[in-house]
Chain A
Amino acid sequence: MTTEVKPPIPRGKPRTEPGTVAEPGQITQTGEITIPHRPIAVGASGLYVLQPLLNLPGPFATDQGPDSMESGGFLPAIREELRLDVDGRYPQMAASGVLRNGIAGRANWVAKLNSTAPNTFAGPIFHAWTTGGPSFPYNFVKITVTTSLIPSTQRATAIFSTPGGSQSIHRYRFSSPYFHPVELEFDSADGTTAITTFNTGTHPNRPATLPIENLAIETIYQRAGFNVTKSGGDGTVPIAGAGSNHRWSNMEMHDAMQTYWSKFANIAQWSMWVFFASLHEMGTSLGGIMFDDIGPNHRQGTAIFEDAFISVAPPGDPQPAAWVQRMRFWTACHEAGHGFNLAHSWQESLGTPWIPLADEPEGRTFMNYPYNVSGGTSAFFSNFEYRFSDQELLFMRHAPERFVEMGAANWFDNHGFQQARVSQEPDLRLQLRANRDTPLFEFMEPVVLELKLTNISREPQLLHEGLLGDLDSMTIIVKKDNQPARTYRPYAHYCRRETNTVLDAGKSFYDSLFIGAGRGQWHISEPGYYTVQLALHLPAQDVVSNPFRLRVAPPRGGYEQEYLAQDFFSDGVGRVLNFDGSSVLKQDIDTLQEVADRLPDSRAAVHARIALANSAGSASLQLSIPESHHRPTSAAAAGAKFVSTKPDVKDVKQARHLWESAIVTKQNLSAETLGHVDLKYYADAYSAWLAGQGDSHDAANVQEHLHKTLSARGVLPQVLESIAARKREYESKRART
């Protein structure tokens, strides 16, 4: 194999060169290896597409022919895809795809399948991600394939079903035996040899059943389901890039990638740079690294270090040269796996996965450390089959492209998407939603969402009462576009006595979720797009919600609003809003008062007034500790006392005014920003407070307003009935007095 020193790629010049397609059965660029591996030889699996020239306007249009031209206006075309994974190499018995969602939205879905008849597969859709448009209505898919010896004439028909039985039929044309494309480019530093191949028969420590064959990095990823091509010419990078110490830092490698990789661009693309070098600045303890968590587009570059420990065979090894070749080849495949957003086997439930993967600390996969398993490296390779684990393959093949494609999601973001405990036939469905037409929130508006847990089985389910209010039983992820996902941490943990209640078939529990701020930070504050998703952890299974997309609008209140926002997005204000008031956090109360005064028509003011009303109108008990120069050993030793404060007439008047303006005056707006659940909660609290002040008449009026508002907003009859009953209670109380 010959290489040539690569000239830097000039700026402004097209950075792509024709790729060399390594199709199955062809000889690679190196001329060394025949690659015998179409992952799916002849069968049903592969990528199917339907690409209308124009979109139908209706959501999830039915019965679309593969060659149909659909009309509906100048709407963005969305390529509908189906990835069927039921035979060939490492079949996952899964399908996934992209559907048009509503007018301009799209939905990614993934399903687990069983074979129900020849060339027919069916199973539950266990997850869907929507971008724009309505929520995804289907929970089951049946796929029938009409196979053909001529691939271009092969067809698949997918019938999507809703829980209610309505169906949507989509017909697709076979496009490729692979699920995604990917380009690789192998460059090496001066004096370094790229190890991109390995013959499995060269080292005796291997599974007895392992085929003896030449493997290339391309082979490994083709078997994982990728149409691997090569970009640019493999070449040499001057060692000067590593500085005078000749050891590469991550930044130096990133610079080299930008200069010498023919495909470098700050965009998401199915393309990766694999760099073979001598040593990282960490020294011999680092065998390789996916160094690219730098800049706006992560996971585009990986490196392998030939002078590191991976080139030191253990003493007494029968084939030390083969051991080293194997380890360097293995490391290259491992680091490239990180480029596909795969985590280490023992980390797969860490980070910020949308749905946690199970850890596989003993996994015989490219993503484990061979020397970390029981028995060490020799035990690992004695039954390693040069492949990724099933859940890793499922992720690479079927997760939404943005999770996997290099340069899209940040490293360790979305790296997992299959929850090990998600039932294939779930009994419950969890929905996240906002009680408004479009999920658009004002700047500074505290984001409150509604949770709806529905029993979608045919049997009653026994569940903990208050389950949806127990944030400790949930994992909640909030992700702003182009930023790392964050785990929501609640301000308080509650110790509850658990009592069970029955959720009948078809019935739902509801609760609200104040997601705007959590312990340590505001999760949703700056303008932009956010995605929120949660997993509810139940004893026997986890229930994962839809990912809910929302947008925070730019500020409209000019300088004053932006100035106020600096104080508003503080931990203290988040706490006061979360706990509906405070008699201690005076500075944060003042901030909320300013919001109510200066931005009176804003939605943030609705939330502020509730906290202010509670603070002004409620009695409180405070632990007062006298100032002391000595460090007290206990509150009692410091002379602490509980001090009770009660609202005076002025406070009561102010509280009443605040309550009225928060939840009565513009109740439709209040219903949108607080959500139906919280509006009712606060209206009930205000009614009870009024009744406590001896004003059952107005307490009943509050319930009447609430009934009208929620009735107009289509709230369930049983909720309206409970409001009517409460109103009658206050009227009756008033009559008695």
Chain B
Amino acid sequence: MPLLYVAFREGFDNDRVVAKVNGADAFDQVLRTKTQIGFAGQFELEKDPGAIRLDVELPDRNQKKSIDLTLEQSPVFVGVNRNRDGNLAFQTSTEPFRYM
């Protein structure tokens, strides 16, 4: 089964982050970005190929954002950033994210 890899990256500051995949709980942690590498946390799960919806919510900031993806055989990497305007933003890639 293809892999969905979600990385929480820039902009998290002791924020509770809740993620759901197709409505099912997938992640619930308090995250803080390690600024020297731009990384806060991650989760991965295997899903059947097909359309999926990823919902990410910061309940304490009353922020929520969703993205619709199509999983095929190769893994999908989704980066979640909290931009400087405070809004959540997604980036998708077919390659793993890299940090330094």
Contacts and interface: CB of A to CB of B under 8 A. Distances in A.
A369 B84 contact: no
A477 to B, nearest CB: 15
A347 B37 contact: no
Interface stretch (A280-288, A631-639, A697-705): A280-288
13 contacts: A284-B96, A285-B96, A285-B97, A285-B98, A285-B99, A289-B99, A309-B96, A309-B98, A331-B100, A344-B38, A350-B35, A369-B100, A411-B35
Nearest to A411: B36
Interface string A349-378: 111000000000000000001010000000
A284 B95 CA distance: 12
Contacts of A478: none
A412 interface: yes
Nearest to A370: B100
B10 A347 contact: yes
A286 B38 contact: no
B98 A371 contact: yes
A23 to B, nearest CB: 31
A289 B100 CA distance: 6
Interface in B37-53: 37-39
A476 to B, nearest CB: 17
Nearest to B84: A350
Interface size of A as a range: 20 to 34
Contacts, number: 48
Contacts of B36: 289-290, 293, 338, 411-412
Given A347-B10, A349-B84, A287 B100 contact: yes
Nearest to B97: A285
Contacts of A344: 35, 38
B100 A412 contact: no
Nearest to A412: B35
A604 interface: no
Contacts of A338: 36
Interface string A310-321: 100000000000
A655 interface: no
Contacts of A309: 96, 98
Nearest to A287: B100
A411 B84 CA distance: 19
B35 A347 contact: yes
A331 B36 CA distance: 13
Interface string B32-71: 0011111100000000000000000000000000000000
Interface in A254-304: 282, 284-290, 293
Given A293-B36, A347-B10, A286 B100 contact: yes
B98 A287 contact: yes
Contacts of B84: 349-350
A371 B37 CA distance: 14
A373 B71 CA distance: 27
A285 B97 CA distance: 7
Contacts of B38: 344, 347
A351 B100 contact: no
Interface centre among A284, A289, A310, A351 (most CB of B within 10 A): A289
Contacts of A284: 96
Contacts of A588: none
Given A347-B10, A349-B84, A350-B84, A287 B35 contact: no
Interface string B13-46: 0000000000000000000001111110000000
Contacts of B98: 285-287, 309, 369, 371
Contacts of A347: 10, 35, 38
Given A285-B96, A285-B99, A412-B36, 20 more contacts: A282-B99, A284-B96, A285-B97, A285-B98, A286-B98, A286-B99, A286-B100, A288-B100, A331-B100, A335-B100, A338-B36, A343-B35, A344-B35, A347-B10, A350-B35, A351-B35, A369-B98, A369-B100, A411-B36, A412-B35
A335 B36 CA distance: 9
Interface string A323-347: 0000000010011001000011001
A351 B10 CA distance: 11
A412 B10 CA distance: 14
Nearest to B5: A285
B35 A286 contact: no
B73 to A, nearest CB: 20
Interface centre among B10, B11, B37 (most CB of A within 10 A): B37
A222 B96 CA distance: 35
Contacts of A288: 100
Interface centre among B10, B97, B98 (most CB of A within 10 A): B98
Contacts of A349: 84
A289 B35 contact: no
Contacts of B96: 284-285, 309
A351 B11 CA distance: 9
Given A282-B99, A369-B100, A371-B98, A289 B37 contact: yes
A310 B11 CA distance: 25
A298 to B, nearest CB: 10
A352 B3 CA distance: 37
Contacts of A285: 96-99
